[in-house]
Each structure stands twice: as C-alpha cells, then as structure tokens.
Amino acid sequence: MTSDAYAFWLAEPGRGEIRPAVVGEPGEDEVLVRTLHTGVSRGTETLVFAGRVPESQWPAMRAPFQEGDFPAPVKYGYLNVGRVEQGPPELLGRTVFSLYTHQTRFVAPRSAVTVVPDGVPAHRAVLAGTVETAVNALWDARPLVGDRVAVVGAGMVGGCAAAILARFPGVRLQLVDIDPARAELAARLGAGFATPQEALGGCDLVIHASATSAGLTRSLELVAPEGTVVELSWYGDKQVSVPLGEFFHSRRLTIRGSQVGGIVPGRRRTYADRLALSLDLLADERFEALITGHSPFAELPEVLSRLAAGSPALCHVIDYPEE
C-alpha cells in the first residue's frame, strides 16, 4: 500500500517548489507520521535556500533525512512535529518530534521520533532542535549561579539560550541586539536588553549568535579577563574577521566553538537525553515569544524566499492541512 504525500524541495538556489512524494507502508520498526507543523530555521535554512553552503561543509551540513545534494536540487529541513498514524501501539496517535524535512507524510525509523510531552503545544515543539543547540552550548559554556552573562544576537538560537539562562538564579543576563525592537522579546524571555553600544561589560560568559563579525568583536569586548565567548554562529561561506591582535592575548580570552552535532566530552548524556530535556524545557511558556509567524504548507516556497531576502522573523511555523 502507498499513500500520497507532498514535500518541499529547493529546485535551485533561490527557488523552492512543492513536489509529490510516494510514502510506502511502514516496516516492523518504523512509523508512519502525518506532519502537523514544521519550523523554518531562519539562519541555516535561508543559507541553504540561497545556495551558500560551502562545498567543504556539504557532508557536515546534511540533514538526517535529506534527499539530493547541495547546492540543489535538495530536500532539506529538520524541525518536524507530527502525529503517528501507523506504528507500535504505544506510539499510535502520539505527537512526536523528529528531524524530518518539510513533508506532509513520511515513514521513519521508530528510533527517529521522540514523543512530545503533554504540556508542550505541538506548534511550539518545532523549536526542539533549536533548543537542543542552546542546551548544547550551555553544556559547553558551563554557566554558574551569579554569573554576568550576555547573549549577543537575539535570533532563534540566541533567544533559546536566553530563555534557558533566565531560569538560572542570580544571573545578570542581557540579550544584546542591534534592533531595539528586540527589547520586547527580551522582556518576554525574562532577560534584560541592550544595544551593542549600551551592553554591560565585565561578563564572565558571552554567548555569541549574531552571525556577524561585528557581533563577535563586541562579544570579545564585553567578556572579562580570563572569560569565555561561546561561538554559536554558523557563517556559511562568509569570511569573518575579529581583533585577535588587540586585547585578545593580554586578557587571556577564550573563544569556544559549540556545535549541536557533538556533546562535550564527559557530559555523560546521550543525544536522546539531550532531545528529551529540550522538549521538557519547551513546557515553559516564555518560548512562545520565539514563534513569530505561521503560514500554510502550500506557501512555504514564498515564505523561504521572503526570509532569505531579509524579512524579519525568529521561528516561522509551517502549518499542514488537517485532511
């Protein structure tokens, strides 16, 4: 038996389209999922949409259920929430998160889906992959009670990091962004806000997520001697310059890269543990502030075109037909 489905493909850089797909019967250790929502990861997916994934990073940037190859045609995406229609009894009818692409129905290994907790709305659960990135960054950063922390870049990743850090007791937390309108987001997340010029220095820790050279430079300026900047930005094929010849050595600063593909050694947590934690954290209503728009699946090609052109958004949720 087969069932018809539809999937979003990047046909060529800058142009997406909806294509038909055929979904087979799930096997013994597989599930058939009907998608409820997907999330557009504005940073990474717009770079993919524009064809700006450097060739050296093609293997590293493959999504788990990607079809095709960079730069195009390619079926890409990794923030999917759906309902299990066929599979083992304990999963039937359950809402699940997976790293599947933008597709109306799909078959995946049972091990590739994680049940969304009852207290987490399905549309908010699309943030799980981004929250994972923030969780991983904070495992790398190891913030302490009472730390002075800045998060530079109030996008999806920076916002998720700030939402988690806002729960730490005694932390002086500022969300730093060039857009003064992000002050409202910071307030909803429970963080202070500052423009780069107004941001407080002397930070024990800075999380950088602006994907700009200026943001990384300002992060280094804000951190205290012996402090650490955790770099979360992914720049695609863009060259980055920072002032490592000025105060960097004399203040003994550290720039630590963090990438969701690896867990800091010694953490004693599995990838499944990290994803389950991320979904649990999404019960916190402050994460709703990161959902800045909804569009139907049929409009996804136009939505990605707008986002790639610079339309302001954090997490844009794609809603799928109820049938």
Is residue 323 scored above 80 in pLDDT? Answer: no
Domain that holds residue 155: 130-257
Which residues fall within 8 angstroms of residue 107, CB to CB, at 6 or more apart? Answer: 23, 24, 25, 26, 27, 30, 31, 32, 33
For residue 219, being part of any structural domain is answered with: yes
Query: Look-up: residue for tokens 């759906």?
Result: 82
Q: Is 99 helix (H, G, I), strand (E, B) or coil?
A: coil
For residue 268, being part of any structural domain is answered with: no
Neighbours of 93 (CB within 10 A): 9
How high is the pLDDT of residue 3? 57
Say what the pTM is: 0.91
Q: At what angle do helices 128-141 and 156-165 cross, to 10 degrees?
A: 60
Question: Which is higher by pLDDT, 240 or 23?
Answer: 23
For residue 39, being part of any structural domain is answered with: yes
For residue 245, being part of any structural domain is answered with: yes
For residue 236, being part of any structural domain is answered with: yes
Both 135 and 82 in one domain: the answer is no
Both 8 and 104 in one domain: the answer is yes
Residue range 311-315: mean pLDDT, rounded? 84
* Band (41; pLDDT cuts 50, 70, 90): confident
For residue 263, being part of any structural domain is answered with: no
CA 234/CA 99 separation, integer angstroms: 19
Peptide bond into 71 cis (omega under 30): yes
Both 250 and 140 in one domain: the answer is yes
Both 138 and 253 in one domain: the answer is yes
pLDDT digits (tens, 9 = 90+) for 254-286: 999 888 778 888 888 999 999 999 999 999 999
Share of the chain above pLDDT 70, in %: 99
How high is the pLDDT of residue 259? 81
* Band (1; pLDDT cuts 50, 70, 90): very low
Q: Is 68 helix (H, G, I), strand (E, B) or coil?
A: strand
Both 88 and 169 in one domain: the answer is no
* Domain CATH for 201: 3.40.50.720
In which element (H, E) is residue 304 found? helix 300-308
Both 218 and 309 in one domain: the answer is no
Both 149 and 195 in one domain: the answer is yes
Number of domains in the chain: 2
Both 168 and 232 in one domain: the answer is yes
For residue 267, being part of any structural domain is answered with: no
- Which DSSP string do the residues of 186-219 spell out, in sequence order? HHHHT-EEE-TTT----EEEEEE-S-SHHHHHHH
Both 13 and 62 in one domain: the answer is yes
**Alpha carbon distance, N-terminus to C-terminus of the chain:** 19
321 DSSP 8-state letter: -
* Domain CATH for 59: 3.90.180.10
Is residue 2 scored above 70 in pLDDT? Answer: no
Both 135 and 176 in one domain: the answer is yes
Both 148 and 99 in one domain: the answer is no
For residue 176, being part of any structural domain is answered with: yes
Both 73 and 135 in one domain: the answer is no
pLDDT digits (tens, 9 = 90+) for 103-151: 999 999 999 999 999 999 999 999 999 999 999 999 999 999 999 999 9
The per-residue pLDDT of the chain, averaged, comes to: 94
- Burial of 272 from C-beta contacts in 10 A (0-12 / 13-18 / 19+): exposed
